Amino acid sequence: MRQRVEKWLGPIDQLGYVVDDIEAAMGHWVDRLGVGPFYFLPSPPLSDLTYRGRASGARIAVALSFSGPLQIELIQPLDDHPTPYRDFMAAHGTGLHHLGRFVEDYDGAVAAYAARGMDAFFGGRGLTEKQRFAYFDTETHGGTCSEIIETVELGGFFDAIRSAAEGWDGSGPVRTVGG
C-alpha cells in the first residue's frame, strides 16, 4: 500500500537549468519547445552570496520564462568563482540543476528543510535587496537540488513574465532586462 506523501512546501514552481551558452539555450527553448518569451538578465545584482560556508563573488546570466504555471530558469556561470552551477557542470555537464519553490515565508521554509536534516549550501540575495534564495542538497537523483525563492518584491515581476508567456505570439522572443 502506498503511503501518503506530505507536501510540506507546496508544488514545484521552477525548473532551473545550467547552460554553457544562454543565448543558444534560449533559442532552443523558443524554437524547439515553443516556450517564451525569455526575460534575459545579463548579470543580475546578486549579493551576500555564500557557497558551502564561504563568501562568493560569482556572476551569472539568467533568463526566465513560463510554460503554464511553471517557471523556466536558464543559468550560465560568467566566471570561475565557486558556485553550485560550476560544480554541477563539472560533474554532469549542462542540464536540470534544481527544482525551485516560491515561498513567502522564507525563514519557515528554511526551518522546514532543517527539520528534515537538510541545510542550505548556497544562498544570498537575489534581484532585490530584500529577496533571498537558498539551495539545499537533495542530490540523490542525478545531481538535482532544491531551491527556495523568496517572493518578496518579486511577485509583480514574475506575474508580468507569466502574463507575457500566456499571451505570447512569438514576437520578441528575448527581452533584455537591465545592463
- Predicted local distance difference test score (pLDDT) of residue 1: 43
Give the chain as a 3 state SS string. CCCCCCCCCCCCCEEEEECCCHHHHHHHHHHCCCCCCEEEECCCCCEEEEECCEECCCCEEEEEEEECCEEEEEEEECCCCCCHHHHHHHHHCCEEEEEEEEECCHHHHHHHHHHCCCCEEEEEECCCCCCEEEEECCCCCCCCEEEEEECCCCHHHHHHHHHHHHCCCCCCCEEECCC
As averages over each run of 10 residues, the pLDDT of the chain (179 residues) reads 60 96 98 98 94 95 97 97 93 94 94 90 91 85 84 86 95 90
List Cβ neighbours of 3 (8 Å cut-off, separation of 6 or more): none
The answer to whether 80 and 86 have CB atoms below 8 angstroms apart is yes
From CA 167, how far away is CA 32, in angstroms rounded?
A: 18
**b or e along 113-133 (b: 16 or more beta carbons within 10 Å of the residue's beta carbon)?**
beeeeeebbbbbbbbeeebbb
- Predicted local distance difference test score (pLDDT) of residue 129: 85
